[in-house]
Amino acid sequence: MKKTVLLVLVSLCFIVSFSAAAEEVTIDFWHAMGGHNLEVVNTLVEEFNNSQDQVEVKAQYTGSYNDTLTKTQSAVQTGTAPNIIQIYEIGTQMMLDSGIIMPIEDLGKEVAGDNSFDWDKFLVPVSNYYTIDGKLNSMPFNSSTPILYYDRDAFEEAGLDPNRPPQTFAELKEYARKLTIKNDDGTVERYGFTLGIVGWFVEQMVANQDATLVNNDNGRSARATASNLNEEAAVRFVKLWKEMVDEGIMLNPGRGWDGANQAFASGRAAMLIESTSSVAGFTENAKVAGFELGTGFLPRPASANRGGVIIGGASLWTIADHPEEELKATWEFLKWLSEEEQQVYWFENTGYFPVTKAAVEREMNNKFFAKNPNYLTAFLQLLLSKKAVSTQGALIGTFPEVRQIVEKAVEKTLEGNMTPQAAMDEAAERVNKSLKEYNQLYK
Amino acid sequence: MQKLNYRSHSLVPYLLLSPTFIVLLLFLYWPSINSVYLSLYKQAPFGRNKIFVGIQNYVNLFQDPAYLNNLLRSTFFVIFTISIGLIFSLLLAVILNQNLKGIKFYRVIFFIPYAISSTVAGSLWVFLLNPVAGQVNYLLDLAFNIQVNWLTNSFFAFLAIIIATVWKNMGFNIIFFLAGLQAIPDSVYESAKIDGAGAITIFKDITIPLLSPTTFYLIIMNIIFSVFESFGIVDIMTQGGPADSTNIVIYKLYREMFINFRPGIAAAQSVILLALVIIVTIFHFKYGTNNVHYQ
C-alpha cells in the first residue's frame, strides 16, 4: 500500500514538474551590448526570468551591431532566427524591407491582444524615429544623441566663459583657436577641438540645421531616391571640419570613436562631440584627471534654421516566424522592459536615455538631473529639437554603406586631395547609385 | 593470375583518395561553384528578393574606378609585402643560421609573430603607431624630431599595413629559409672557399640559387597570405581608410558582403580574385621554375 502511494506521488511529481516545464516558453534575445552594458542586459534579463515562471528569456551577445545583423541574416536563411534582435537605428529600413519582422504595435495589439498598453508612453523624439506608416515598428531600447563636451578649466584658462559653450560654427572655430596651445617648435600641446571621423556626426549636423539627408522627406514619405549630401548643410559642416584641421586647432584622430575619446580624456583636446551615452565615462574620467566637465548643445551655423538632433542607438525587433505562444512571451518581455523601473535602471547604469516619459519624470523628481546637469543637457537638446522630418531621421535601405561613403568623403577632404564640395558631390553620387540599386530590389 | 589480382585492386587508390576528394568537393569546389552562381544575381538582404542579372555585376565592377584602383593598390601591396618580406626574412634567416649560444631562443622569438592571430598583431601595431602614446613616434621624435600621423595619412597608413603584414609573416618565411639553409651541405661551401670565393660571392652564387626551391614555394605562400590573410590586420588597423588608401581586394569584398549586404557583387569580386590568383600561380609555375635549381 505504502509503495503504491509512493509510486503515485512520484509519478504525480513528475507530471506536475513536466507540465510546469512545458508551460515555460523560451525566447531567444540577440543583442550587441558588450562590456559593461552586457552585464546590465544580463541583470535585466535575469530579473525578468525570476519575476515570473511562464517565460524564460535567453540573452546572447552576438558581437557588434553589424555582426548581429549579419548573424541574423544567416539565421533567418537557415530557419534558426531568434525571437528578439537588437538592431541599430540605421538598420531600420532594411528591417522593414526584410519581410521577417512583426511590427511591435501589431504584436502588442493583435497577437497579444493587450489593450492596456499605453502606446504614448515613449518620448516623442524616440518613438518618432521608429514610427513608420503610422505604426511603431520596434521597441525603442538604447537611445543616444551627440552633445558637445568640453573642459571647463581649459575654458577659464583661455579666458572663455565656461558657462557659455560655443553655439555657432564661427564660435566653435574661435573657441578652438583660443583653446589651442602650440609649443615653440610648432608641435601642438593641446588642440581646441577633436572629432572622430564617424558618419553619424555629419547626419546629426545636417539635422541640426533642419535639413534632410535624402529626398522624399528623408525617405519617410516614399523611398529615398537621391541624396542631399552635396547640399549646403552637409558641405558647410565638412568645410568647417577641414578648415579647423588645416589650421591646426582641431585634431584629426582618424576614423572611429576611440582616437577622439582618448584625445579628450587625456587632455590633448579641449572640446569634443560625442554620444550622450559617454556622459558617465567622461564625468568619471574628468574627476580622475582633475578637471570639470562641461556639456553643451551641438553648434550650428548662425544663419541656419534651428533643427535638432536625431535619436541614435538601437531598438528591439521581433521576428514574426515563431509560434504564437513565443510571440506572446516576446511581448511580455518587451512590455516589461518598457516599464518605469527597468527604464530607470537602464538609464542610470548605461547612460542611454530612458525611452519613456514616466522614467524621465521620475528622474526629475528624485533630483537626478539637478545632481547631474550633464545628463540634463542631453535631454534638453533632444526635447528642444524641432519636430520635423529632418530630426525624425533618414530612412535609407543602405544606410550602413551611406555612412561609410560619408566617412570616406570626409577623409578625402581632410587629406587635401579634394575640396569639401567635390568630395560631397562624389559621395552624393555614390549614395544615389546605392539607393538606385537597393530600390530595384523592392519594385 | 597476378594480373587479375592487380586489376581487382585498381579501385583501391581511388578509394584511398576519396576522403580528400570529398573534403575538397564540399569545402572548396562547391563553395566556388556557388560563388559563381551567386555572382550572377542581385540579392536583397535576408535573401528575400533575388534577381538574375547575368554578368551585370562584373560589368559594374570593371566600370567602377574605385574597384580598378583597388586592384592596382592590391597589386602594389602584394609586390611590396612579398619583396620586402622575403628579403628581410632571408637576411634574418642567415643570421639565425649561425652557430651561436642560445640561437634557438632567438629563432623562437622571430617565429612568435606568426603564431599570434592577425587581430592581436593589428592591435599591437595600433598601439605602437599611436601618434600620441606610441613607441614608434616616441623614438622617431627622439631621433629625428618628427611626428608621423601613421594611420590618418594615406601614404603612411599604406606603409603601416605593409610593415605589419611583413612582420606578421616573417616567422613563417624565416623557418622555411632556415630549413633551406640547413639543407645546403657544408661541402659545397667548403669547396667554394677552397676555390677562393668571398662571403658575398658565396651568398650570391651558392646560397641564393640553392635556396631557390624554398623561395619559389614561399612566393606562392606569400601571395596567398598577403591576398587573403591580410584582412585581419587591415580591419583592425585602418578599416581600409583613410580615403580607401589601405582598402585591398579582400577587405573590399568583406565590406561588400557583410556591411553593404550585397552578396552578388561580393561573389563577383571573389570569383575575379580567384581567377587572378590562379593566373598568377600558373605564370609563376611556368616562368618562375626556370630559375629554380634543385640539387
Chain A contact present for B258, CB below 8 A: yes
Q: At what angle do helices B249-258 and B65-96 cross, to 10 degrees?
A: 130
- Alpha carbon distances (Å) from A144 to A82, A256, A354, A375: 25, 17, 9, 11
> For residue B2, is pLDDT > 60?
no
Q: Which amino acid is at B144?
A: F
pLDDT of residue B290: 72
Q: Burial, B135: exposed, middle or buried (Cβ in 10 Å; 0-12, 13-18, 19+)? A: exposed
Rounded CA gap, A339 and A344, in Å? 9
Q: Give A135 to chain B, closest Cα distance, Å.
A: 22
Residue B264 lies in a domain: yes
pLDDT of residue B141: 84
* DSSP code at position A144: E
Chain B contact present for A191, CB below 8 A: no
Q: Judge whether A2-144+311-371 and A146-308+396-440 match in fold.
A: yes
pLDDT of residue A402: 94
pLDDT of residue A5: 67
Specify the CATH number for the domain of residue B189. 1.10.3720.10
- Alpha carbon distances (Å) from B14 to B4, B9, B18: 18, 10, 6
Residue B237 lies in a domain: yes
HSE of B122, CA atoms in CB hemisphere, 13 A: 18
pLDDT of residue B1: 46
> For residue A414, is pLDDT > 50?
yes
Q: Give A324 to chain B, closest Cα distance, Å.
A: 22
Residue B198 lies in a domain: yes
Query: Ramachandran region of residue A272, left (φ > 0), alpha (ψ -120 to 50) or beta?
Result: beta
Mean pLDDT computed over B269-277:
91
Residue B56 lies in a domain: no
Fold of the A2-144+311-371 domain: D-Maltodextrin-Binding Protein; domain 2 (3.40.190)
The β-bridge relationship of strands A139-144 and A312-319 is: antiparallel
Chain B contact present for A119, CB below 8 A: no
pLDDT of residue B207: 87
Prediction pTM value: 0.86
Mean pLDDT computed over B180-199:
87
> For residue A209, is pLDDT > 50?
yes
Greater confidence (B148 vs B167) lies with: B167
Non-local CB neighbours of A318 within 8 Å, separated by 6+ positions: A83, A84, A101, A102, A104, A107, A138, A327, A330, A331, A334
pLDDT by residue (tens digit) across A260-286?
Answer: 998 899 888 999 999 988 888 888 888
Provide the number of structural domains found in chain B: 1
pLDDT by residue (tens digit) across B21-61?
Answer: 999 999 889 999 999 999 999 988 887 788 899 899 999 99
> For residue B181, is pLDDT > 60?
yes
Which of B152, B154, B259 minimises the CB distance to A400?
B259
pLDDT of residue B63: 92
Q: What percent of chain A has pLDDT over 90?
A: 67
Q: Give B151 to chain A, closest Cα distance, Å.
A: 7
Backbone angles phi, psi at A394, to 5 degrees: -80, 150
Non-local CB neighbours of B214 within 8 Å, separated by 6+ positions: B176, B177, B179, B180
For the domain spanning A146-308+396-440, the CATH number is 3.40.190.10
pLDDT by residue (tens digit) across B226-261?
Answer: 888 888 899 988 888 788 889 999 999 999 988 888
pLDDT of residue A204: 95
| C-alpha closest to that of A420 among A204, A168, A231, A173 | A231
Domain parsing of chain A, residue ranges: 2-144+311-371, 146-308+396-440
Mean pLDDT computed over B65-84:
93
pLDDT by residue (tens digit) across A12-63?
Answer: 655 555 554 557 899 999 999 988 889 999 999 999 999 999 999 999 999 9
pLDDT by residue (tens digit) across A66-119?
Answer: 899 999 988 988 889 999 999 999 999 999 998 899 999 999 998 888 888 999
Residue B28 lies in a domain: no
| C-alpha closest to that of A68 among A311, A317, A330, A346 | A317
